[in-house]
Copies of this chain bind each other. A is one copy, B any other.
């Protein structure tokens, strides 16, 4: 069985037209598929309106109890159900899920030492119930995950959507052929950040080091490629980084071992 795990970020969700365009293409996308969505600016806006202060440590947000309630409302409630409803209306039998649902994703609350980031969860492939997820896929349903998970004590936690997508892709790779597709606003990884048409069409472990030493893969792209190679080494067949608007065409940057 070939499975595609597709992730969209907050920038796409924040734009009504972009989101609608993406969801139309996602519905048309053939094969067994899973959507993972990030958060977007709505949670920050709601926190501002409610005068809940965003506390940052080293440039990273602290998820206190009040903020956790907000992200649960916005990510698992509003965004997840709006996406699911739109997909249903276009003929995609979506089922909106958090990690808590059916025990699909169990996270571990990040240690408060050395820095207490609050209700933030770390997940790994061991936290994914792949068997249960396959049960849901076998019903012909299309899982739509928000980045809210739970630990084994029932505490809801805020997680990174990129990591959720990667962990799901890796967990399913032990029994299936999985492609992990990161959709964002650019057309792929760019050889020249100022030139939208300089997409690097393919990267593998051989040419990656050369591209790095030549400075073609530059600072901002290194975490993305490192993350992709991590997934590939754990069994994912291919990682694609592409534009949300090009989901239906062969495009973007293909990364293989």
Contacts and interface: CB of A to CB of B under 8 A. Distances in A.
Interface of A: 49-50, 69, 72-78, 80-82, 84-86, 88-90, 93-98, 100-103, 132, 135-136, 139, 141, 148, 150, 152-156
Contacts of A98: 81, 84, 96
Contacts of A93: 102-103
Contacts of A156: 81-82, 85
A96 B88 contact: no
18 contacts: A50-B50, A73-B73, A73-B77, A74-B77, A75-B77, A76-B78, A77-B78, A77-B80, A84-B100, A85-B150, A85-B155, A88-B100, A89-B154, A93-B103, A95-B102, A96-B100, A102-B139, A102-B141
A139 B134 CA distance: 11
A138 to B, nearest CB: 9
Most buried by B among A73, A76, A95: A73
Contacts of A95: 97, 101-102
